[in-house]
A = this chain, B = another copy of it.
Amino acid sequence: MAEGPFTHGFQVRLHDTDAAGVLFFAHLLRHAHDAYESLMAAAGFPLQGLIQDGIALPIVHTMADFQAPIRQGDRIQVEVSLDEVRRRSFSLNYRFLDAEGAQRARARTVHVLRGAGDTSALPSALRTALCRWLGPPDHGSQGTASQTQW
């Protein structure tokens, strides 16, 4: 059922950079979240619907590695894959590839179900949808869904 990573492209803008001339580190995670929002829409769970329904999937853990400078004008492809899905949480891996396919950075986010209504388990349709993008095991991964309490 897995169909490879979900992809999301963007171009690095001037406001993404700082006076040191490269991407300001925290903005990488903003772009990761953009990719996550597109993935959730593709999964049939656009965030605007979740917010209206009072459902939240807040990020309880994140990490990022910066392997090479990213500069204004660079075109970046983000590959998002599911690391793990559990009863009430899931974790996503992000790879940031440049136009030559070289990895410039990677990131991870761990999301936990919160909010109004039944928060005992993720909707099964969401779990099924996320599994389309299940990635290979990442033995070096830290901060996975398994490490949450949920």
Q: Which positions in A face B, CB cutoff 8 Å?
A: 11, 13-15, 17-22, 24-27, 29-30, 33-34, 37-38, 41, 46-48, 51, 56, 58-67, 69, 71-73, 109, 142-143
- CB <8 Å contact, B19 and A26: no
The copy count of this chain in the complex is 4
Residues of B within 8 A of A13 (CB): 30, 33-34, 37
- CB <8 Å contact, B51 and A72: yes
**Chain A to chain B contacts (Cβ below 8 Å), 12 pairs:** A14-B24, A15-B18, A15-B30, A15-B34, A18-B72, A22-B58, A24-B30, A25-B29, A26-B62, A58-B69, A61-B63, A63-B143
- CB <8 Å contact, B63 and A19: no
The answer to whether A14 and B18 touch (CB under 8 A), given A64-B62, A72-B51, is yes
The answer to whether A71 and B59 touch (CB under 8 A), given A14-B20, A30-B26, is no
Residues of B within 8 A of A46 (CB): 73
Residues of B within 8 A of A26 (CB): 15, 26-27, 29-30, 33, 62
Question: Out of B19, B62, B109, B143, which one reaches A17, CB within 8 Å?
Answer: B19
In the complex the two chains form, what is the Cα distance from A46 to B109 in whole Å? Answer: 32
8 nearest A-B pairs in the assembled complex, by CB-CB distance: A26-B29, A17-B19, A48-B73, A63-B63, A25-B59, A142-B142, A14-B18, A26-B30
